[in-house]
Amino acid sequence: MPLDSHSPCPCGSGKEIRFCCSDMLKDYQQLETMLSGGQFAAALSMIEKLEKDHPNNAALISAKCLILRETGRFDEFIAQAESFYRGNPDKLKAIAEYVIARTIGGQTDEALSVLVDGIEKNEPGKIDGSLLFPLIMIAQQLLEQGNIYTAVALAKLSQSFNPKGRESAALLAQIYRRKDIPLIEKELTFDPAAPDDFPFRDKYQDAAVRLATGHWKEGRAILEELLSCAGQWPNLYRSLGLVNFWLGDTDAAAEAMRKFASSAKVSFDDAVDALTAAMLTRRQLSDDLDVMQVIRTIPNPDKALEILLSTPRLVSMPFDARMYGDAERPAPSHAFRVVDRPFPPQGEALTLENTPLLLGTFLFFGKQTDRDARIEIQVFEQNRETLLAFLSEALGAELGPEVETNLLTKLPWLFKKLDPEFQIKDSAAFPAESVKKLYRDYFETAFAEEWLNHPSDFLDGKTPLAYAGQPESAPVLSALVQTVAFQTDPQFSEGLARALREKLGIPQPETLTPPEGDDSAVLAFFQRIPIWRWCRADVSTLSVTAAGQLLRVVSIFGEDEAMTRLSDRILSVPADEADSAKTASASESETASAPDRRPLSAAEARYMAYEVRIAKAETAEGPAKALELIAEAKRVAREAGISDASLSLREAAMQLALGRIDEFRRLVSYVAREHRGDPEAMAELQMMMINLGLINPDGTPRTVSNAPAAAEPVSPAAEPKLWTPDSDAPSSGGSKLWTPD
């Protein structure tokens, strides 16, 4: 909205311009026009002139900071932001610029602390607009650094202040989609209210409001005052632990979670979850393995390459050389994997004993003007000697001396062990189930045995087996098992966790039994249970509509086991029986994290269940089964009045992958014709075409060198036309959309 005399003054005083910088209104308006038009040089010149008469004007300094950032002058920006903050430590615009500067500089701990100080200068529930950008910026940076609790809390805080903001919604969606982030880190929440009999219930409520509105330091201070009452209500420690996670004090957070878990008033499951939360924040800090780079010269590159390409335990990897080279460092000519044993003979079943594992990789460089031919090896330190001995044996005199060895990075032991890197020469020769069995065998036998006998920092340096004999060890070991399971591929996590618990002699998680009959009681039952435990629930008695409401929630987070169980339950009920069931009402669907609380029909529930089954079939059962399920899902969609555009595009991509070009064209044309009025369908269709390389990101058709003769590429001299769904319709100008024959 353009500035006028009634607008809040850009200097950040909180007053309207007419009561503050009224003499600068025209300057502010002109400056706003320049900035919105990208006239940064002119705007900067204007600011420098205005500063002579208006020194230390926060609006001008803030605008200068913006220009310096936008033009990539980051050193100048950081210096300007620091000077701005030192001279105006209480001004929110100065705080905002300083937080951005510290985040750019990688000092996220200080940036977070100053950001919270800035938020606390507002009333709870309100925020100055200048803090919104640094808030989401630091959330993104913390996510990259692996500080999940704080990143999620900041993203949710940003969304609460700015519900229509795309950045926070996109960041949360990214976090929720990531399979490598355990659900407990995404959804661990504090108690919104204390029990009715807690003597300081009102004071806790004050703390809860402050925690929910970003006043984290103030909320923490109140919780610390209440700790003398933690014997009555130990959840005080849990809330304190969570806010310490948010503030980056992981040691204090872990200590609070341990105190919560040790209380006799806390359930076994809650204790395990609290300890798991503490362990997850430290999962990257111990048991590091060194990844080494070793460079060896190659005296005769042609002869060496001939040997390498014919050595069975070396696998030449296809790669894009452009990704590895630049003007200063020419790209390698080949990349190789080195495996630890020969590949099994054709037709032999995969086993742990005969399936090769990756020893290391190396890049092959031919002779360059200023460098001899060489190989650059990347290998874990514990595999280095074995790999070099094998290469020496294979290459003999063609392997020259070692010219450089250095440490590339460190990786956690557990991270390495959870990714065994089996090398299967021809994966198409083995059914998907045989490959899955190989991995199941690995996790439940080889990995389990090694993990049980590996010392852990979480157990004071003891191995899990040795720690199992200690008193009260069950919650700690259960949490450690859960921590490992959360980091394991969902296909194998449940079996691994079961095997570890059996060997440690600790109890398996109890099945959760919801009440039968009434949907409202069922949904209330699940609302009281953390989402990561839903996979333990017996869903065999759930109605289709109740299961659909729950499926809608877990689908947001990609909780695979719960999604599978709920979708299987929905599809196990005959369609006529499901359709006769009542629709769950909006009030019945108020689960903890459900953003969509509208009524859900049985047909909609079945459609969602089919989506889950189709995705599973694509990876586990093959395209034939997936296409069969898509056909069934389309029938359900038609009956329910649900658009089948997404299913049709999914089918089109599968048909193209199977080489059925006519079917691909038919389905694309169908969506373009029948769903042209649906913006979401058109956006999905356009994105598919971009991903397939048929159109450019701006919507213009791509000129494809191997396009069939019938396709007419856009003339370079012609004005580019934006791709639209009817671009493939016949016209005198020929087809604008290329599709493969």
Domain ranges across the chain: 190-277, 288-418, 431-504, 521-691
Identify the band that residue 730 occupies on the pLDDT scale cut at 50, 70 and 90: very low
Q: Is the pLDDT of residue 35 over 90?
A: no
- What per-residue confidence (pLDDT) applies to 578? 60
- What per-residue confidence (pLDDT) applies to 283? 67
**Residues 562 and 556 sit within 8 Å (Cβ to Cβ):** no
- What per-residue confidence (pLDDT) applies to 622? 77
- What per-residue confidence (pLDDT) applies to 110? 96
What would the pLDDT profile of 689-709 be if each residue is shown by its tens digit?
A: 888 877 877 777 765 444 333
Residues present in the chain in total: 741
Q: Which two tokens stand for residue 514?
A: 């919801």
**Residues 6+ away with beta carbon under 8 Å from 557:** 176, 183, 186, 187, 531, 593
Identify the band that residue 325 occupies on the pLDDT scale cut at 50, 70 and 90: low
- What per-residue confidence (pLDDT) applies to 211? 96
What would the pLDDT profile of 77-127 be if each residue is shown by its tens digit?
A: 899 899 889 988 998 989 999 999 999 999 999 999 999 999 999 999 999
CATH topology of domain 288-418: Alpha-Beta Plaits (3.30.70)
- What per-residue confidence (pLDDT) applies to 41? 86
Q: Which of 126-130, 151-155, 455-459, 718-722 has the lowest mean pLDDT?
A: 718-722
Q: Which two tokens stand for residue 466?
A: 């040795």
Q: Is the pLDDT of residue 476 over 60?
A: yes
Provide the b/e sequence for 602-614 (b: ≥16 CB within 10 Å): bbbbbbbbbbbbb
**Residues 6+ away with beta carbon under 8 Å from 659:** none
Q: Is 404 helix (H, G, I), strand (E, B) or coil?
A: strand
The widest CA-to-CA distance across the chain, in whole angstroms, is 86
pTM: 0.82
Identify the band that residue 25 occupies on the pLDDT scale cut at 50, 70 and 90: confident
Lay out the sheet containing 288-297: strands in order across.
314-317, 334-339, 358-365, 374-380, 288-297, 402-412
Q: Which of 8-17, 468-477, 489-498, 642-651 has the lowest mean pLDDT?
A: 8-17
What would the pLDDT profile of 8-18 be if each residue is shown by its tens digit?
A: 777 666 677 77
Which pairing describes strands 314-317 and 358-365: parallel, antiparallel, or unpaired? unpaired
What would the pLDDT profile of 285-297 be if each residue is shown by its tens digit?
A: 456 899 999 999 9
**Residues 6+ away with beta carbon under 8 Å from 661:** 739, 740, 741
What would the pLDDT profile of 615-635 be if each residue is shown by its tens digit?
A: 888 877 778 888 999 999 998
d(CA 461, CA 456): 5
User: How many other CB atoms are there within 10 angstroms of residue 245's CB atom?
Assistant: 27
How is domain 190-277 classified at the architecture level of CATH? Alpha Horseshoe (1.25)
Q: Is the pLDDT of residue 727 over 60?
A: no
Q: Which two tokens stand for residue 90?
A: 């209480």
Stretch 644-661: mean pLDDT: 89
Residue type, 138: I
Residue 584 burial (C-beta neighbours within 10 Å; 0-12, 13-18, 19+): buried
- What per-residue confidence (pLDDT) applies to 579? 56
| Nearest CA among 35, 154, 10, 33 for reference residue 93 | 10
What would the pLDDT profile of 406-454 be if each residue is shown by its tens digit?
A: 999 988 888 889 999 999 887 777 887 888 899 999 999 999 999 999 9
**Residues 6+ away with beta carbon under 8 Å from 399:** 296, 298, 304, 391, 392
Written in H, E and C, the secondary structure of 702-718 is CCCCCCCCCCCCCCCCC
Identify the band that residue 369 occupies on the pLDDT scale cut at 50, 70 and 90: confident
User: How many other CB atoms are there within 10 angstroms of residue 581's CB atom?
Assistant: 16
Q: Is 337 helix (H, G, I), strand (E, B) or coil?
A: strand
- Chain-centroid distance of CA 425 in Å reads 30
Identify the band that residue 713 occupies on the pLDDT scale cut at 50, 70 and 90: very low
